[in-house]
Every structure is written in structure tokens, then in C-alpha cells.
């Protein structure tokens, strides 16, 4: 049975990426996905231009570019381990963590799922980068109101490919669905039979 609705973000993971360049060709490999607890909200908007071509006094052809997604991931708290591995903050010998101005964030795959009325749909965004969150808090009044942290994300295609994202369907094999957070799923291509 297919989902008719979706709700509830959960099981957010990130998988650090290692990029290797050999003879001008970039190859990437994914580390084992790591859980990010406390996911609150994920909002990703498509990026890409629409370019119409006019002929015969009408819109003859329309080219639509798919440049991935930009958006935000809101969490209860961004884990320090994410800040070190992905945002490249540094911990000194006294276990003090530093943010430095001359570092660039590392790429990662983002895995997550949305609940559905039938079965949760699992997603993978293959090549993401994150911008450090804002620093915000407020004084405690009569009650405690938690403040969240938000990462600004860019999600693009993997280098050397056109692959931006993947998601499970109601027909995805059980083993692939079950192991979605154990390793980043790679596209399989069936060779045509002779």
C-alpha cells in the first residue's frame, strides 16, 4: 500500500564524504552514517532556472535546470561531533573547541525519513554542505523554552554524476530499506540483456 500523506521527520543521519582526485577525475566515498539526534524540521527548496525558447510566436521549448536544493535543518542542538567533522571546528589539547575563520565545511550525505500513513519513506541527499548555525539563547523565565539551532544546507549532485537524491518506494527491497542507515545507498544500473 502506498502512502497518501507524510508527516514527522526522524532518523536524521549524516555520512562524511572523502573526495579523491585521480587523473583529474573526482571519486567520492561515504563513511558509515552517523545519527543526528533532536531533528525538529527540514525544509529543502529546489534550485534551478527555467529558460523558455520562443519560436512560431509561442513558447516552443522550455529548458528546466535541476541544480539541487537549498534549505535548512533545524535541530534541538547541533552535536559537537558534527561541528568537528563537518564544520571543521578544532579541539585543542585542553578539550576546548574552536571555530576558525580559514576553514571550509566538509561535504556529507544527509539521510532522513518522513513518516507516512503506510510506511516511512527514507531519503538520501548525496552531496551536502552546511553553514554554521546562529548563536542564540535567552534568559529563563517562569518556564524553560528550548532554543533550537538551524543549519543552512546546500544539496547538489555528486561530483562526476547527475545524482542529487534518492528515496525509497513501497516496492523497495526489504534489505535495502532495513540497511538504509548502515551505508549510503549507491545507484545500481541493470545492464541490458543481449
116-155 pLDDT tens trace: 656 889 999 999 999 988 776 666 666 666 778 999 999 9
Backbone region of residue 81 per phi and psi (left: phi > 0; alpha: psi in -120 to 50; beta: other values): alpha
Q: Are 145 and 161 in contact (CB under 8 A)?
A: no
The C-alpha atoms of residue 89 and residue 98 are separated, in whole angstroms, by 6
Does residue 75 sit in helix, strand or coil?
strand
The C-alpha atoms of residue 19 and residue 30 are separated, in whole angstroms, by 9
- The domains of the chain are located at 6-178
Provide mean pLDDT across the span 163-169: 93
State the cell numbers at 122. 527514507
| pTM score over 0.85 | no
Neighbours of 143 (CB within 10 A): 5
User: Which is it for the CA torsion 7, 186, 1, 66, positive or negative?
Assistant: positive
Amino acid at each position: 500500500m502506498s502512502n497518501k500523506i507524510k508527516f514527522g521527520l526522524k532518523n536524521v543521519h549524516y555520512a562524511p564524504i572523502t573526495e579523491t582526485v585521480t587523473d583529474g577525475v573526482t571519486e567520492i566515498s561515504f563513511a558509515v552514517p552517523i545519527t543526528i539526534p533532536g531533528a525538529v524540521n527540514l525544509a529543502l527548496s529546489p534550485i534551478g532556472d527555467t529558460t523558455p525558447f520562443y519560436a512560431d510566436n509561442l513558447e516552443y521549448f522550455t529548458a528546466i535546470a535541476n541544480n539541487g536544493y537549498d534549505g535548512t535543518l533545524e535541530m534541538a542542538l547541533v552535536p559537537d561531533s558534527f561541528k568537528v567533522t563537518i564544520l571543521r571546528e578544532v579541539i585543542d589539547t585542553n578539550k576546548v573547541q574552536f571555530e576558525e575563520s580559514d576553514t571550509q565545511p566538509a561535504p556529507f550525505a544527509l539521510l532522513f525519513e518522513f513518516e507516512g500513513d503506510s510506511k516511512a519513506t527514507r531519503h538520501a541527499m548525496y552531496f551536502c554542505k552546511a553553514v554554521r548555525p546562529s548563536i542564540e539563547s535567552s534568559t529563563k523565565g517562569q518556564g524553560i523554552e528550548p532554543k533550537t539551532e538551524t543549519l543552512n544546507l546546500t544539496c547538489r549532485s555528486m561530483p562526476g554524476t547527475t545524482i542529487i537524491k534518492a528515496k525509497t518506494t513501497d516496492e523497495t527491497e526489504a534489505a535495502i530499506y532495513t540497511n538504509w542507515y548502515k551505508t549510503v545507498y549507491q545507484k545500481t544500473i541493470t545492464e541490458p540483456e543481449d
